[in-house]
Amino acid sequence: MDDTPDTGGLPPSLMFLKWLVIVLMVTMIGGVITIVALLVTRMPEGGAVVVPEAVVLPEGEVAAAVTVARERLLVVTESQRLLVFDRAGRMIREVDLGE
* The predicted structure's pLDDT at residue 48: 62
Distance CA 28, CA 35 (A): 11
61 compared with 46, residue with greater pLDDT: 61
Residue 1 lies in a domain: no
| Rounded mean pLDDT, 2-15 | 77
Residue 81 lies in a domain: yes
The 63-68 sheet, strands edge to edge:
63-68, 72-77, 81-86, 91-96
| Rounded mean pLDDT, 34-44 | 85
Which amino acid would we find at residue 21?
V
Distance CA 97, CA 99 (A): 7
Same domain as 87, residue 64: yes
How many CB atoms are located within 10 Å of the residue 73 CB? 21
Residue 54 lies in a domain: yes
Apex 83 CA angle, 40 and 71, nearest 5: 80
* The predicted structure's pLDDT at residue 33: 97
Same domain as 58, residue 37: no
Distance CA 11, CA 47 (A): 54
Same domain as 53, residue 88: yes
Same domain as 65, residue 39: no
Same domain as 70, residue 36: no
User: What domain range is 88 assigned to?
Assistant: 49-96
